[in-house]
Chains A and B, each alone.
Chain A
């Protein structure tokens, strides 16, 4: 039985396909999803610190305000925006729209641009507000 399964032809994998925007965005969607999964530790740290008292809160706030902290939060902002935009694209497909080749390719490129622009916009606002 093991032999039979071993000799079965495999479906083509990543290295077989031409690299296209929709494929890239699909991969990035999964990667940002995984990053956001572990990023919840940061949200938990922030909330627990806020619930614990002023001293703990200030420590966590200091970290998020540092260069490394800001860099992580910047990445987090992009990941969350990209994953949300990608998710909206998926909801559109779930409803049966937007499968045309040219359109989905354009949308894949647009979602990358939109996620970057929105991230910069959010951070511009943060820096202006402060």
Chain B
């Protein structure tokens, strides 16, 4: 006799091995990114082409530095999840899929790490 519930049998299956959490994280980061990116765009509109000293003094303002860091974190999480979805949709070979998902994680976290350290360096050291 099978003692497992129908839910227990399907948990962890599917192309992504998890679903709701992925969906929820994409939505949460997307909601967060709406105001963050609006701020970012306005900031860039003001500071695009400005001299080095002006940009650094603006980026080291604690308020702007916080928004900068939060935007980087939310963007990296959002884009990593988004690319996971694309890979899971179009790549049907298990090996290629696993390799691309790993490369996606590496790319996202390397870019995220570089951006974050740069943002923090500017914020603390100038």
Contact = CB atoms under 8 A, between A and B. Distances in A.
Given A41-B111, A94-B27, A122-B45, A50 B118 contact: yes
A91 B122 contact: no
A48 B118 contact: yes
B100 interface: no
Contacts of A84: 33-34, 37
A33 B82 contact: yes
Contacts of B56: 50
A64 B33 CA distance: 24
Of the listed residues A44, A84, A129, the one surrounded by the most CB atoms of chain B closer than 10 A to its CB is A44
A50 B122 contact: yes
Given A44-B115, A51-B122, A126-B45, 20 more contacts: A33-B79, A37-B82, A37-B83, A40-B75, A44-B114, A44-B118, A47-B119, A47-B122, A50-B59, A50-B118, A51-B118, A51-B121, A64-B49, A84-B34, A87-B30, A87-B34, A91-B27, A91-B30, A91-B31, A122-B45
Interface of A: 30, 33-34, 36-37, 40-41, 43-44, 47-48, 50-51, 54, 57-58, 61, 64-65, 77, 80, 84, 87-88, 90-91, 94, 122, 125-126, 129-130
Grouping DSSP codes into helix (H, G, I), strand (E, B) and loop, the B interface class, with mixed when no group exceeds half, is: helix
B48 interface: yes
A51 B124 CA distance: 10
B49 A61 contact: yes
Interface of B: 27, 30-31, 33-34, 37, 41, 45-46, 48-49, 52, 55-56, 59, 75-76, 79, 82-83, 86, 111, 114-115, 117-119, 121-122
B104 to A, nearest CB: 9
